[in-house]
Amino acid sequence: MSNDGLRARPLSRRVLLTLATPLLLPAAARAQPAGGITVTAPWTRAMRAGGTGAGFMTIRNAGTTPDRLVAARAGIARVVELHTHVREGDVMRMRPVPAIEVPAGGTVTLQPGGLHLMLIGLNAALEQGSSVPVTLVFERAGEIAIELKVESAGARGPAAQGHGH
**Containing structural domain, residue 135:** 26-151
pLDDT at 25 (0 to 100): 40
**Main-chain dihedrals φ then ψ at residue 15, nearest 5 degrees:** -65, -45
Residue 111 lies in a domain: yes
Is the pLDDT assigned to residue 58 strictly greater than 60?
yes
pLDDT at 92 (0 to 100): 83
Residue 81 lies in a domain: yes
Residue 126 lies in a domain: yes
Residue 14 lies in a domain: no
Residue 40 lies in a domain: yes
Is the pLDDT assigned to residue 164 strictly greater than 60?
no
- Indicate the length of the chain as a whole number: 165
pLDDT at 31 (0 to 100): 40
Number of domains, the chain: 1
Is the pLDDT assigned to residue 5 strictly greater than 70?
no
Selection from 163, 117, 159, 165 nearest residue 144 by Cα: 165
Q: Tell me the pLDDT of the chain averaged across its residues.
A: 83
Spell out the alpha helix ranges (H) of the chain. 13-24, 27-30
Q: What is the pTM of this model?
A: 0.76
Q: How do 131-138 and 53-61 pair as beta strands?
A: unpaired
Residue 127 lies in a domain: yes
Per-residue pLDDT tens digits for 98-140: 999 999 999 999 999 999 999 999 999 999 999 999 999 999 9
Residue 46 lies in a domain: yes
Is the pLDDT assigned to residue 27 strictly greater than 80?
no
Residue 21 lies in a domain: no
CATH number at residue 138: 2.60.40.1890
pLDDT at 33 (0 to 100): 58
Is the pLDDT assigned to residue 22 strictly greater than 70?
no
